[in-house]
Structure 1
């Protein structure tokens, strides 16, 4: 099972996230769970519009590197242009977990290296996988959220 974080803060955010979910289901595997949408404060670079974020649990047969390639292709197809780290974007798809794998390479780090520091990641992840254990920290999503120092706003999006 892989867990993906989707984020968008430019254009029609809702439509973009819906389209991303459809493309992920077509190319990566079965979407087993998806969190609600959350409107969240920007993180890293704060002078930008609010994001919509969502977490998906996806059953896949692809290798982690192939998941990364496919998510980057989906981002490009949906209009993602990379200008600035943590800058505004039409779509962002981050791999949070791939089963219980721990991997670090030049192109991919699993689990995602910042997931435990970001409320906009932990809140939707806790909605669908509160008891999922981080393979490095040996803590559940709920525990990581309770300990998270980030005070960025994360509000259910209606």
Structure 2
């Protein structure tokens, strides 16, 4: 089994219900959810003229390859109404692979660890709740240290 860490989030519809549905579908289609962060309401990143997001980090045990996890994520997002019309735009559901074990993957389809982790408080706050001592395999710095040093000042609030 491999550990995959996912960030789920959305800012349209019934955000709590959609996060619960995403958590259930991840557990069914990718692997058991071993740990889930609290929910965090976060200011939008990128295009700020949109509603606040609700985000949650999931730590999942999976037998799937990184590519298969990515495919399943696409299916889960589609099942929950994801429309990829606008980069950084409003969405019902977005699921990102933050880490896949200690793997470093850099392909056209997938970059792991997610390249923007250190720059996004909305990722780091829930991640630090469930895995503060996790060491980033590229930077060699813990998640707690990344959170303390992030330049991102957008509001992130545990709900």
TM-score between the two structures when normalised by the length of structure 2? 0.98
User: Which position in structure 2 is the counterpart of 1:101?
Assistant: 103
Structure 1 runs of 4+ with >2 Å offset:
none
What's the secondary structure of 1:29's corresponding residue?
A: coil
User: Which position in structure 1 is the counterpart of 2:31?
Assistant: 29
Counterpart pick for 2:124 among 102, 122, 132? 122
User: Which position in structure 2 is the counterpart of 1:152?
Assistant: 154
Counterparts of 1:32-47 in structure 2, within 5 Å, are 32-47=34-49
For residues 88 and 61 of structure 2, what CA distance do their matches in structure 1 show?
27
For residues 126 and 96 of structure 2, what CA distance do their matches in structure 1 show?
13
Any gaps of 5 or more consecutive residues in structure 1? none
For residues 113 and 46 of structure 2, what CA distance do their matches in structure 1 show?
19
Q: How many residues align?
A: 157
Once the two structures are superposed, residues 40-99 of structure 1 have per-residue CA deviations (whole angstroms, 9 ceiling, x without a partner) of 000011111000000000000000000000001000000000111111100000000000
What's the secondary structure of 1:90's corresponding residue?
A: coil
Any gaps of 5 or more consecutive residues in structure 2? none
Is 1:56 the counterpart of 2:39 in the alignment? no
TM-score between the two structures when normalised by the length of structure 1? 0.99
- For the aligned residue pairs, the C-alpha RMSD in angstroms reads 0.4
What's the secondary structure of 1:17's corresponding residue?
A: helix
- Pairwise CA distance, 1:156: 1.0
For residues 146 and 15 of structure 1, what CA distance do their matches in structure 2 show?
31
